[in-house]
Structures are given as structure tokens and as C-alpha cells.
């Protein structure tokens, strides 16, 4: 079974600084998607960014970018110019890109922004 590991239960960063959240996954597949979801205190789950394994270029969405290392099975999220609104739980998720496969989630990283 595929597993997703987020080894940092909690992280903190100074406002306006950059922070990187780690995610590793275990798979024998070559075609898959990776996702980062954000869960602010409102508890809504919001998709932050996605990466297709066949795309070598790292995905970017405004201040959010990923460092996708396929051989190392690593998918870290970088948040630049951190803002107070970035405070949230962040979940990494994985999905094989065929058939009826479901998303598998990591255990989450709670990010605190220090004013």
C-alpha cells in the first residue's frame, strides 16, 4: 500500500520569511499525482498545489512552490514571503494516475506564522 509521510508535526516561521514543509511517499508506480492541501482554522480543505509525476518542472502557484524529487520520492512545499493567513494545517496527498485509485493523505504539518 502507498504511504505518505510528513515528518514535521509542527513548524513555525517568521512573517515574510520562507518555510519548507517536507513530504515523502512510498510507491512502486511511475505515473501519479501529488497534492498539497491547506486546512486553516475554518477547517475547510483547500487545494494549494498539484504535481504530476511525469512533469519534470516543479509546480508553482504564486508564493507556493514545490520541490519534486521523483527518485528520492520527496515532495516538499515551499512558502515564500509567509503571511499570517498561511497559518494552517498542511496535508500532503498522493494518488496513482490510473483506474479507481483514491487519494492517500499524510498526517499533516501545523504551520504557525510568527508576526
Partner 1 sequence: DADVTQTPRNRITKTGKRIMLECSQTKGHDRMYWYRQDPGLGLRLIYYSFDVKDINKGEISDGYSVSRQAQAKFSLSLESAIPNQTALYFCATSQHPSSEGSSGELFFGEGSRLTVL
Confirm if 84 and 15 have CB atoms less than 8 A apart: yes
The answer to whether residue 11 forms part of the interface with partner 1 (CB under 8 A) is no
The answer to whether residue 69 forms part of the interface with partner 1 (CB under 8 A) is no
- How far does the chain reach from its first CA to its final CA, in angstroms? 41
Total of chain residues touching partner 1, rule CB under 8 A: 24
Candidates 1-9, 11-19, 71-79, 80-88 — which segment interacts with partner 1 by CB under 8 A? 1-9
The DSSP code sequence of 32-96 is: EEEEEEEE-TT---EEEEEEETT--SPPEETTEEEEEETTTTEEEEEE-S--GGG-EEEEEEEEE
Distance CA 67, CA 84 (A): 23
The answer to whether residue 82 forms part of the interface with partner 1 (CB under 8 A) is no
Taking the complex as a whole, the smallest distance from the CB of residue 104 to partner 1 amounts, in Å, to 8
Binding to partner 1 (CB under 8 A): which residues in 29-58?
33, 35, 42-45, 47, 50, 52
The answer to whether residue 108 forms part of the interface with partner 1 (CB under 8 A) is yes
Give the interface with partner 1 as residue ranges (CB under 8 A).
Answer: 4, 6, 9, 33, 35, 42-45, 47, 50, 52, 91, 95, 97-98, 100-103, 105-108
Amino acid at each position: 500500500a502507498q504511504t505518505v509521510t510528513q515528518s514535521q508535526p509542527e513548524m513555525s516561521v517568521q512573517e515574510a520569511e520562507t518555510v519548507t514543509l517536507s513530504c515523502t511517499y512510498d510507491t512502486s508506480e511511475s505515473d501519479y499525482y501529488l497534492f498539497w492541501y491547506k486546512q486553516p482554522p475554518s477547517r475547510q480543505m483547500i487545494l494549494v498545489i498539484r504535481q504530476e509525476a511525469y512533469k519534470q518542472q516543479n509546480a508553482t502557484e504564486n508564493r507556493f512552490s514545490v520541490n519534486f524529487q521523483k527518485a528520492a520520492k520527496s515532495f516538499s512545499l515551499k512558502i515564500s514571503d509567509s503571511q499570517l493567513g498561511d497559518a494552517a494545517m498542511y496535508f500532503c496527498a498522493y494518488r496513482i494516475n490510473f483506474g479507481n485509485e483514491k487519494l492517500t493523505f499524510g498526517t499533516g504539518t501545523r504551520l504557525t506564522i510568527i508576526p
